[in-house]
């Protein structure tokens, strides 16, 4: 009986830790980058966007259509920050799920991040 109670207590503590960790996903380095990206995109702040993305991803914004792309990002990105619902880190890559709600519509966007030096950056190139 005592070992069953110990196991039950351990399971409860693990579940509580998992819920607490899930609630803190926005505070992870990866979550912070994603939230900064959404904030910069909504503001149309090219310099701030570039701080959040890889150099290769930034090339897309520096081309002939860069200003147009930033304008589209500004219009399409909701003012409310997304909820970070999942962070999956494997070595120097990460996948972050961001739940975006605008009006009655809720979508989950999946962002790929890579470690560049000592910083996490969003990779928008699909490579």
Which CATH number covers residue 88? Answer: 3.10.450.50
Instruction: Identify whether 14 is part of a domain.
Output: no
Q: Taking the model in full, what pTM does it have? A: 0.79
Model pLDDT, residue 102: 86
Looking up tokens 């509580």 gives 16
pLDDT, tens digit, 9 for 90 and up, residues 31-70: 999 999 999 999 999 999 999 999 999 998 987 888 899 9
Domain containing 55 equals: 26-122
71 within a domain of the structure (yes/no): yes
The percent of residues above 90 in pLDDT, for the chain, comes to 68
Pairwise CA distance, residues 115 & 26, whole Å: 17
């Amino acid at each position: 009986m005592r070992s069953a109670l110990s196991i039950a207590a351990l399971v409860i503590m693990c579940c509580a830790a998992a819920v607490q960790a899930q609630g803190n996903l926005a505070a992870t380095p990866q979550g912070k980058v994603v939230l900064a990206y959404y904030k910069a995109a909504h503001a149309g702040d090219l310099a701030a966007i570039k701080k959040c993305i890889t150099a290769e991803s930034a090339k897309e914004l520096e081309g002939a259509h860069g200003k147009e792309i930033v304008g589209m990002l500004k219009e399409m990105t909701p003012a409310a920050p997304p909820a970070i619902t999942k962070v999956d880190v494997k070595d120097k890559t990460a996948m972050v799920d961001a739940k975006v709600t605008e009006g009655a519509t809720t979508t989950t966007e999946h962002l790929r991040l890579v470690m560049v030096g000592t910083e996490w950056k969003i990779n928008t190139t699909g490579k």
